[in-house]
Amino acid sequence: MHAIGIDIGGTKIAGGVVDENGVILTAERVPTPTGHGSAITDAVVAMIERLAIGRPVGAAGVAAPGFVDAAQSTIYYTPNIPWRNEPLRQNLLARLPHLDITVDNDANAAGWAEYRFGAGRGLTDMTMLTIGTGVGGAIIVDGRLLRGGFGAAGEIGHLRLVPGGLLCGCGARGCIEQYGSGRALLRFANELADAGGVGLVLAEARREHGELDGVIVGDLIQAGDPGAIQALQRLGRHVGETCASLSAVLDPQVFVIGGGVAAAGDLLLDPIRAAYATTLPARGFRPEPMFRTAELVNDAGVVGAADLARSHATAAAEPSGR
């Protein structure tokens, strides 16, 4: 069965028709409407209708940032869209009654896509950290996406790493998001530049451009600048320590690192592995996981949302149920 996946982002809505192998057959994107939430619902309905023209589509999955209930129906809260306890699934079903529709958290959809078709395929237990502006998470346990009792599981970015640490956007202090995100990488780079010592180029760039942004730091990392790489290593240490704690609870076969910072590849994975090795409980007496970067990158949300919708529709069609 072909399924439609829709990924609602802060600036754009991406959608596609996805086959059983996770291949996007046709895709489109539009700017995310601003203002009232109903304008976004309208845009999603219109995109699904356009994508479904002339294609045998049975299900549509919608991924959105924020907290989604365990029934894949209601968005409790999203940070950038005025949706609070929004019954998005019911609203979409009312206008698209011929489709099986599900709603999922965007990081969970992306993680599911990596598990099914990307860096986690062929395994049963995978933990994914998406290092973008913030830190997203997705957890696959025994072949299933961990949603939790209320749907809000897998928010790895808000694990406490530093007691009494930096204030996080979620209202708590010391969350991993403040030490392991792209934003944290820029903070480290600016601090290192101001401190001098390492990274003459980093310090020069700081003098020249003022506040260092993601493009400058990314270019310096690619160029092998020691200061920028030291900032990346500091980020990697925090992420590696977090992964060791996660192993104590989840014991995954693979950690998948996604998001823009993952483009650094082994420059990021090596300090993660090193910090993991020094932090893991009972190290040397247990099998250790692999560390990989994500494979699907920009398409993961669309592919994962579609596959979660297909799984839901298939399970509903089985007379025995699950």
Query: What sign for the dihedral angle of Cα 310, 9, 13, 77?
Result: positive
Contact 227, 203 (CB under 8 A): yes
User: Which of helix, strand or coil describes residue 176?
Assistant: coil
Backbone angles phi, psi at 4, to 5 degrees: -100, 135
Least spacing, CB of residue 10 vs Zn ion, in Å:
18
H helices present in the chain, as ranges: 37-52, 88-95, 106-117, 177-180, 182-195, 200-209, 214-222, 226-250, 266-279, 300-317
Least spacing, CB of residue 241 vs Zn ion, in Å:
16
Q: Which residues contact 64 (CB under 8 A, 6 or more apart)?
A: 8, 75, 78, 81, 83, 88, 103, 104, 105, 106
Least spacing, CB of residue 51 vs Zn ion, in Å:
35
Residue number, 123 or 170, with CB nearest to Zn ion:
170
Residue number, 3 or 139, with CB nearest to Zn ion:
139
Least spacing, CB of residue 145 vs Zn ion, in Å:
22
Least spacing, CB of residue 162 vs Zn ion, in Å:
11
Residue number, 88 or 168, with CB nearest to Zn ion:
168
Determine the Cα–Cα distance for residues 245 and 180; give it in Å rounded to an integer.
Answer: 14
Residue number, 175 or 275, with CB nearest to Zn ion:
175
Least spacing, CB of residue 90 vs Zn ion, in Å:
30
Least spacing, CB of residue 157 vs Zn ion, in Å:
6
Residue number, 30 or 77, with CB nearest to Zn ion:
77
Determine the Cα–Cα distance for residues 276 and 279; give it in Å rounded to an integer.
Answer: 5
β-pair type (100-105, 57-64):
parallel
User: Which of helix, strand or coil describes residue 75?
Assistant: strand
The two structure tokens encoding residue 257: 């690192």
Residues that bind Zn ion (CB under 5 A): 158, 168, 170, 172, 175
Query: What sign for the dihedral angle of Cα 213, 215, 218, 219?
Result: negative
Residue number, 128 or 175, with CB nearest to Zn ion:
175
Residue number, 52 or 135, with CB nearest to Zn ion:
135
